[in-house]
Amino acid sequence: MNRRTFLKLAAAAPAALSGLAAGVSVARAQQKKFDPRPGGWRTWDVTTRVEIGSPAGVSRVWVPIPVVEGEYQRVQWNRWSGNARIAEHLEDPRPGAAMVYAEFPESEKAPVLEVISRVQTRNRGEDWSTKTAARLSEAEARKWTQPTDLMPTDGIVRETAEAIVKGKASDLAKARAVYDWILVNTYREPKVRGCGIGDIRGMLATRNFGGKCADLNGLFVGLLRAAGVPARDVYGLRVAPSEFGYRTLGAGSSTVSKSQHCRAEVFLTGYGWVAMDPADVAKAAREETSEWLKIDDPLITPVRDSLFGGWEGNWLAYNQAHDVQLPHSATGGKLAFLMYPQAETAEGRKDCLDPDTFKYKITSTPVTA
């Protein structure tokens, strides 16, 4: 490098740093305190259109539809159309996933399925000053503490969980300890495809704690189950921007084909099922600004605090299912979870993380009337 080039670069560096700082300042100025609280309902029409551009033999499509009902979500209806020979609402009853299944004959050269789900959602925010008499039956407690294919509760998972919750007597204290451990030890890794796969034993064995929501929230849920606290992932889709101005915590446009996101719930004695989302804390810290922020940064602390006990209602829940077997699948392979449209032809299962090649598009439209 010659002297003239060096001087030019040296002169440019302060300006570049100044621009970076200015960008971060603008990002901070656009936020308001992240504090979702239960309030009014909002209604969404979520449309999923699937096309198989190069069918081979019999083609099959599975589109997840919302099945979760409760204090934060009401499913109004699901409707579908297209040129399938068979199109029907099916469920995998054991894990509890619902879907529209469509089957196209070999003679159909341009298979199309369109599914519209109308759903109402609202914010969640736990009132820690008020307790309830909510209890789980023994069967439910077993269900939500049992292992899954990618979420074992023995070996290194149990050892890690026991170390984290040592000395913690209540479910609430254990949940807080695991939540804080996730935030300190894991991080958002943008290079991971989709939402990750949630192989929690592999994460702990390799100490590779970078991932996305299925990894980080999956580890959170798995550690709690190993500690004897009922917990579950909730698989869904962001449908709107965050009302609090956080770019990373909402959908960027009405096209939400790549806006899948899983959250978590923990059953706490005296409170019932409580919303949690440590993965979104990690996402905001890593991607909200051009800097990688610490979890005690003033921009992140409201997110960290609110997502222990709440989440924003700009998101719909499909299901809480693990180890999903797709009905009528010719390949027979199970899915870790059902959050993306799926398709297969005689050539095998399509890549659900490539909506351009797979040719699916998901859009979200607010319903105001």
33 falls within a domain? no
At 33, the amino acid letter reads: K
Q: Are residues 308 and 331 in the same domain?
A: no
252 and 187 housed in the same domain: yes
Overall domain count for the chain: 2
Same domain, residue pair 225 and 282: yes
Residue 92 lies inside a defined structural domain of this protein: yes
* Token code pair at residue 187: 């991080």
Contact 224, 158 (CB under 8 A): no
239 falls within a domain: yes
Q: How many CB atoms lie within 10 A of CB 168?
A: 16
CA atoms within 13 A of residue 314's CA, in its CB half-sphere: 20
Same structural domain for residues 94 and 201? no
Residue 143 lies in a domain: yes
- Return d(Cα 72, Cα 30) in angstroms, integer: 27
In a domain, 14, yes or no: no
* pTM score of the predicted model: 0.91
231 and 274 inside one domain: yes
Same domain, 171 and 297: yes
Same domain, 79 and 157: no
Residue 13 included in any domain: no
DSSP state of 192: S
Residues whose CB falls within 8 Å of the CB of residue 206, separated by 6 or more in sequence, listed in order: none
Residue 174 in contact with residue 168, Cβ under 8 Å?
yes
Q: Which domain holds residue 337?
A: 42-121+321-367
CA pair distance 117, 64, nearest whole angstrom: 10
CATH number at residue 329: 2.60.40.2250
Whether residue 233 sits in one domain with residue 266: yes
What SS3 class is residue 215?
helix
pLDDT tens sequence across 311-369? 999 999 999 999 999 999 998 789 999 999 999 999 999 999 887 777 999 999 999 97
Token code pair at residue 124: 């969640």
Interatomic CA distance for residues 318 and 214, integer angstroms: 14
Q: Tell which of 290, 312, 334 closes a domain.
A: 312
**Which strand (E) or helix (H) includes residue 324?**
none
Using CA atoms, how far apart are residues 315 and 254, in angstroms rounded to an integer? Answer: 13
Residue 19 pLDDT: 47
CATH number (domain holding residue 204): 3.10.620.30
Residues 249 and 356 in one domain: no
Tokens linked to 115:
């599914």
Q: What is the pLDDT of residue 94?
A: 78
One domain, residues 186 and 253: yes
63 lies in some domain: yes
Distance of alpha carbon 123 from alpha carbon 54, whole angstroms: 41
Residue 243's pLDDT is what? 96
* Gyration radius from the chain CA atoms: 22
Q: Based on the domain organization, do 177 and 136 belong to the same domain?
A: yes
* Length of the chain in terms of residues written: 369
Single-letter amino acid, residue 133: A
Inside any domain, residue 113: yes
- Is there a single domain that holds both residue 242 and residue 301? yes
Q: List average pLDDT for each run of 10 residues in the chain, which is 369 residues long.
A: 41 47 55 90 98 92 96 97 97 88 96 98 96 92 96 98 97 98 98 97 98 98 98 98 97 96 97 98 97 96 98 98 94 91 93 83 94
What confidence score (pLDDT) does residue 214 get? 98
- pLDDT at position 133, please? 87
- The pairing of strands 272-276 and 310-311 is unpaired
**What is the predicted pLDDT for the residue at 331?**
86
Q: Which residues contact 315 (CB under 8 A, 6 or more apart)?
A: 121, 236, 237, 238, 239, 261, 263
- For the CA atoms of 336, 339, 343, 347, the dihedral, rounded to the nearest 10 degrees, stands at -30
Q: What is the pLDDT of residue 17?
A: 46
